[in-house]
Amino acid sequence: MSSVEKILGGAPESPGVYLMKDHRGAVFYIGKAKNLHKRMLQYIHPHSDNRFFVQILHRILVGVEFIVTSTEKEALILESNLIKSRQPRFNIRIKDDSSFPSLRLDLQKDFPRLEFVRNRRNDGALYFEPYHSATKARTVLDLVNRYFCLRNCSDMMFRNAKRPCIRHQMGHCLAPCSLPVSHDDYMAEVRKVRLFLEGRKELLLSELLPLMKAASAALDFERAAVLRDQIRAVEETLEKQVMEISDSVEWDVVGFYREGELAEFALLQIRNGRVMGRQTFGARGYAVDDATLLEDFITQHYRKVNPLPEEILLPLQLENCADLADFISEGKEKRVELFFPKRGKKKQLLDIATENANNAFAERQSAGRNISLMLERLEKKLNLSHVPQRIECCDISTFQARASVGSVVCFVDGLADKSEYRRYKIKSSEAVDDFAMMYEVLTRHLKRAMERGVLPDLLMVDGGKGQLNVAAAVLKDIGIEGVDIVGLAKSRWKEEVGPDQIATKIEGRWQTPERVFLHNVKNPVVLNPGTSELLLLQRVRDEAHRFAIEYHRKVRKQKTMRSGLLDIPGVGSKRMKILLTHFGSLKKLREASAEQIAALPEIPESLAIEIFEYLKKAD
């Protein structure tokens, strides 16, 4: 009996989920089955299963955990949740384009504004597109700000405005910040913007044309001119942005293209009979079959989509379409149906989506090849032991030994992986000692990285030989080998330079280039300015600096606000403890109303109002 058969042979004959584990106890694959026993037999005798990890199962499989469920649908839900939380290395990983620029409209606010954002959040706001370039997104935003009268000021400016800004004088804003603007009138303008961004041309024009005629008949020519400009913007812009489909439908069309273990999905969103946008998703399949890859994409993507389209058109026939439809429709506003069209208009749309997936795959592969070449050049120029696919950088932020914090950012294949960012409050050092603080942060971070089994290929520090020696000491003390370390030192200004020193003379002074310090190497490496290798290192270093400063400001603000509470007459350490214990954090206390604060014991109403007003001013 083989080792695989011994481990998998005792599976129950019921639906459920299985978690395969390696020698470290880490889960490397999660799957579901209608009958776990029969599914395990397929792994014991894999006649036609060419997946990569199945071929090496006898070498990596040490244990398996079975979780029995009542139905196959429950197994589907459990598998989706476990994959999301555990992220096993051999399950498919979907990388979407959610980091592309979008336009955000938060209808939960009294007077919403349209804003440019780079990352979507699950916050209940409306997000439009995403746009595949910041220029295109900002062009649409400028168009909305020019022809529709929404505010574009920040929430803080909106709360503190004393008089209308110049945009109101130009007729581009209703100025709800300081004028008695009716909420209904403002939301009517918001509705126009929403219809415009959704591309609902006929509906929007049917509302604007009667309003323009009524304003003209009432001799309100200024208002009629504004409406005329809005109508012109709608006609000229939406004519270019959308592709007509005769029926008024709401579909999502999924295109699919694959080469080996790499795949690309293109999602065409059709709303009210028009193609409204395209999203693309890269996936790594580790030789799973196409149907499994598509099913995993559907479960991962549509679990978080709401509202759903009426239909999802798929490029492959899936056996459990009914269970998938139940799974993604559960708890949503409407039910979705899955279809595999073979002819007609729906098939034509599938062909278009497939072509989009093909093009997106080529673009992603081209960008990936460029990144791979750049990383290989970086390896050679810095004489690294291997290609730095995973780069991490540490930085410290402090001010007179107060609110000292550290940050570690992570870049994978040249791109920021924000899910791997970490931040630390300095515990051990009270004095202004950057080296001691960096030693603490790196020690805490790398110990956790060892436990997770995820170490960087290249560890960067912001600084020169001193900081680099600290990183080397940490690696030695922990017992980590095989991690390259470098320090990136900023350029310096000098009055005079030596004959052999590289520098640029600017207005009578000399500026040295940025230098890369290597461990146990006397002279630093100077990368040519403007090269992609130097730009990558600068981007990683600057991101670590930004992340550290952002956290430092947050911590310092919290400490200042906490101490500021004690300055309010009637608030001592006892009452401050009552406030923070009840609300759980300073953030939640800031979100509380005066009535909620006054409801606490030993907090009179007058004091609650003072606390509320102090927190509002400090926000």
pLDDT in tens, 442-452: 999 999 888 88
3-class SS at 15? coil
Mean pLDDT rounded to a whole number for the chain? 80
Of the given ranges (187-191, 485-489, 502-506, 519-523), which has the lowest mean pLDDT? 502-506
Residues 367-389 have pLDDT tens digits of: 667 788 889 899 999 999 989 98
**Which pLDDT score is estimated for 484?**
93
pLDDT tens readout for residues 261-317: 788 888 888 876 666 667 788 887 655 678 888 888 888 888 777 778 888 999 988
**Share of residues in the chain with pLDDT > 90 (%):** 12
Q: Give the tens place of pLDDT for each residue, 398-425.
A: 765 567 888 999 998 888 888 899 999 8
Average pLDDT over residues 454-479: 91
Over residues 435-464, the mean pLDDT reads: 89
Question: Are the CB atoms for 495 and 460 separated by under 8 Å?
Answer: no
**Rg of the Cα atoms in the chain:** 29
Q: How far apart are CA 386 and CA 375, in angstroms?
A: 10
DSSP assigned state of 289:
-
Fold classified for 3-91: GIY-YIG endonuclease (3.40.1440)
Name the fold adopted by 250-363: Nucleotidyltransferase; domain 5 (3.30.420)
The total of other beta-carbon atoms located within 10 Å of residue 9's CB is: 13
Q: What are phi and psi of 474, to 5 degrees?
A: -65, -45
| Type of residue found at 411 | F
Residue 145: per-residue pLDDT: 80
**What is the pLDDT at residue 242?**
42
What are the pLDDT digits (tens) for 116-162? 887 777 777 888 766 655 666 777 787 778 778 888 888 878 887 78
CA distance 34 to 4: 21
**CATH architecture, domain defined by 566-618:** Orthogonal Bundle (1.10)
Fold agreement between 250-363 and 390-553: yes
> Which pairs count as long-range contacts for 336-341, CB under 8 Å and 24+ apart, including other chains?
336/302, 336/308, 336/309, 336/310, 336/311, 336/312, 337/310, 337/311, 337/312, 338/298, 338/311, 338/312, 338/314, 339/311, 339/312, 339/313, 339/314, 340/313, 340/314, 340/315, 340/316, 341/313
Do 56 and 286 form a contact (C-beta atoms < 8 A)?
Answer: no
Q: What is the mean pLDDT of residues 223-244?
A: 66
Q: How does residue 61 score in pLDDT terms, banded at 50, 70 and 90?
A: confident
Q: What is the CATH number of domain 390-553?
A: 3.30.420.340
Domain ranges of the chain: 3-91, 102-244, 250-363, 390-553, 566-618
Average confidence (pLDDT) over 67-96 = 80
% of the chain exceeding 70 in pLDDT: 84
Higher pLDDT, 78 or 574: 78
Condensed to tens digits (0 to 9), the pLDDT of residues 501-538 reads: 555 656 566 666 788 999 888 888 888 877 888 889 99
Q: Of 298, 296, 324, nearest to 31 (Cα)?
A: 296
CA gap 155, 178 in Å, rounded: 13
Query: DSSP letters along 501-545, please?
Result: ---EEETTEEEPPPEEEETT-SSPB-PPTT-HHHHHHHHHHHHHH
Residue 239 banded pLDDT, cuts 50, 70, 90:
very low
Instruction: Give the helix ranges, DSSP H, for 303-406.
Output: 321-329, 344-381
In the structure encoding, which two tokens stand for residue 555, read together? 């911590």
CA angle 532, 536, 541 (to 5 degrees): 150
Which residue has tokens 């945009």? 167
Q: What is the pLDDT of residue 507?
A: 59
Better-predicted residue by pLDDT, 446 or 23? 446
pLDDT at residue 78 greater than cutoff 50: yes
What was the pLDDT predicted at 254?
92
Model pLDDT, residue 241: 45
Indicate the pLDDT class of residue 498, thresholds 50, 70 and 90: low
